Amino acid sequence: MSQQLIKVHQEDNVAVALRDLKAGERIPFEEGELSVLSDTKSKHKIALRTFHPGDRIIMYGVLVGSANERIEKGAILTTDNVKHQSEKVFGKTEAFNWTAPNVEKWKNRTFLGYHREDGQVGTENIWLFFPLVFCENRNIEILKDVFEKELLKKRENPHQLLLRSLVHGADGTQTADTSSDVFDNIEVKFITHPGGCGGIRQDSESLARLLAGYVNNPNVAGATVLSLGCQNLQISIFKEALNALNPDLKKPVLIYEQQQMGTVDHMLSVVIKDSFEAIRKANGIERKPAPLSQLKVGLECGGSDGFSGISANPTLGAVSDRLVALNGTAVLAEFPELCGVEQELVNRCVDEEKSEKFLHLMKAYEKSVVDAGSGFDMNPSPGNIKDGLITDAMKSAGAAKKGGTSPVADVLDYGEYLVRPGLNLLCTPGNDVESTTALVGSGANIVLFTTGLGTPTGNPVAPIIKVSSNSELASKMPDIIDFDTGAVIRGEKTIDDMAEELLEFIIDVASGKVKAKARLLDQNDFIPWRRGVSL
């Protein structure tokens, strides 16, 4: 019989059910048997010993909670009998040594990317339209409609075709226009947002840095920027942010201010003419070989389940370690989901400055959450809890596996841009889209996104590769899942096997040979973080 329970770390005192278990079953486990006392759904946790109130619950080798009441050996852990608890952190406690994985087979591998004048390499070639303030969202939407219909020859939505056929009494089998794009080497993308004015000035300055990061991202060839004129996020603030990020930026950035140009029709006519010419030139940039060290990979999770920390997240960690060994860059974000593993990450920081910055950002973030009447313990979503992630520390311990085992080369606050290869920590919320938005704004040219429940999240600038923790999800939602790690749960493949396959897939996506599912769905999510409270 295949394995039915798994203990992730030798020091754990709980195990994860790999299938639905019934009360009364006796399960072969380690050197003996375990009597199941409660009906336990797959992905949920079972006590490996009897817990008394206040006893520490260990998973992934770290503290993930404490018992609220007596929990018998063989009983299920729930939100009623377990509460969130994590270790206190006091700074570096031990020296850190890392043995890098053998990457000899990858050293001479390349991907086909877009080389920028500043030395960065993109995995896509994007012309980006965005506003400095929400007042210009409508004009961005008009431009989106114009360019997608005429320049990109956008295919009609099949649901639109279905409704049209029903309205006209047809059988629903009309076919969409199959004409090709005008340009074959560039994509045009559009961002709208609710910021730029009306909030505190710091929010506008933060948004300016984020948008500057998007322009500087190696996947972007150039940008068209619309301003109203009277908003908090002035053109001068945006230019200052761009100059601070890259004083020698060579990309074309076209900026228009409506209050200086007069009518909407006049402004849009000028914008369309100028942008078309710039896009035409950018279409001349072609893919060329680049070393894997030019990959800057964001690490994200969303819609996590009880298997995420066992299959999908460790697979990303193994990929991250390989990229770091190749002098590439990996970025671990979502600070609320690092709660409970701070000590490990502090010890992995390359110097005291990085460890102190990480702790400062974590403490400041947690204080802002508490001041708002909440806490990191409120982070797990109903979907997380339903699928076995019952405390924030438990969720965090599994989420942190995406960062592998390498040293932490740098720690970045929200809006700061990647400057050092290796593993970086980026302060973002745990919210999927806010975090993914920030990863790309900090320079990630591709994002790996694990999920156990399924989420369509995409990004206008970087491909988002969805990695499922279980094969049932991959089968049920094949339109959003790119890569399945369910074979790890079934015991058919190791984490290293999966990592090798995933790295090959990343190279194909980075080279434009395969399109990520979120790109095929035209899923272009963009949500800036207002630096108040966002979990």
**pLDDT score, position 271:** 96
Please give the backbone phi and psi of residue 277, each rounded to the nearest 5 degrees, phi first. Answer: -65, -40
> Over the stretch 24-55, which tens digit does the pLDDT of each residue have?
999 998 888 899 999 999 999 999 999 999 99
Please report, to the nearest 10 degrees, the dihedral formed by the alpha carbons of residues 23, 27, 33, 34 taken in order.
-40
CATH dotted code for 5-83: 2.30.130.110
**pLDDT score, position 426:** 98
Tell how far CA 177 is from the center of its chain.
33
Indicate the burial class of 83 (C-beta count within 10 angstroms; 0-12, 13-18, 19 or more). middle
Of 464, 410, 403, 412, nearest in space to 442 by CA:
412
Q: 491-508: string of b/e by CB count within 10 Å (b at 16+)?
A: eebebeebbbbbbebbbe
CB 451 within 8 A of CB 304: yes
Of 326, 327, 316, nearest in space to 506 by CA:
316
Residue type, 272: I
CB 502 within 8 A of CB 410: no
Residue that the structure tokens 């999966």 belong to: 498
Pairing type for strands 483-484 and 464-468 reads parallel
Contacts by residues 243-249 (CB-CB < 8 Å, ≥ 24 positions apart): 244/212, 245/209, 245/212, 245/213, 245/216, 245/417, 246/118, 246/216, 248/118, 249/118, 249/215, 249/216
Tokens standing for 350?
Answer: 């390359």
Residue 142, H or E segment: helix 137-150
Pairing type for strands 14-17 and 45-47 reads antiparallel
**pLDDT score, position 435:** 97
**pLDDT score, position 1:** 44
Quote the DSSP letter at residue 33: E
Coil, helix or strand at residue 196: coil
Tell how far CA 441 is from the center of its chain.
12
Q: Please, which residues have CB within 8 angstroms of residue 358's CB and are 6 or more apart in sequence?
A: 342, 345, 346, 349, 408, 411, 425
CB 456 within 8 A of CB 521: yes
Fold that domain 113-287 belongs to in CATH: Rossmann fold (3.40.50)
Coil, helix or strand at residue 197: coil
CB 282 within 8 A of CB 183: no
DSSP secondary structure string for all residues of 219-253? TEEEEEEEE-SSSSS-HHHHHHHHHHH-TT--S-E
CB 401 within 8 A of CB 495: no
- Return the bridge partners of 6, or none: 16
DSSP secondary structure string for all residues of 259-296? HHH-SHHHHHHHHHHHHHHHHHHHTT---EEEEGGG-E
Q: Do domains 5-83 and 113-287 have the same CATH topology?
A: no
Tokens standing for 62?
Answer: 């770290």
- What's the angle, vertex CA 89, arms to CA 86 and CA 91, rounded to 5? 160
> Over the stretch 403-417, which tens digit does the pLDDT of each residue have?
999 999 999 999 999
How many residues are given for the chain?
535
Using CA atoms, how far apart are residues 313 and 409, in angstroms rounded to an integer?
Answer: 20
Q: Please identify every stretch of the chain with a pLDDT value under 70, giving residue numbers as ranges.
A: 1, 152-157, 159-164, 166-167, 170-181, 377-379, 532-535
Contacts by residues 275-281 (CB-CB < 8 Å, ≥ 24 positions apart): 275/127, 275/129, 275/143, 275/147, 275/224, 276/151, 278/127, 278/222, 278/224, 278/252, 278/254, 279/127, 279/151, 279/183, 279/186, 279/188, 279/222, 280/183, 281/252
Question: Domain residue spans in the chain?
Answer: 5-83, 113-287, 296-520
Using CA atoms, how far apart are residues 517 and 478, in angstroms rounded to an integer?
Answer: 9
Residue type, 291: P
**pLDDT score, position 31:** 80
- Return the bridge partners of 130, or none: 225
Using CA atoms, how far apart are residues 509 and 239, in angstroms rounded to an integer?
Answer: 32
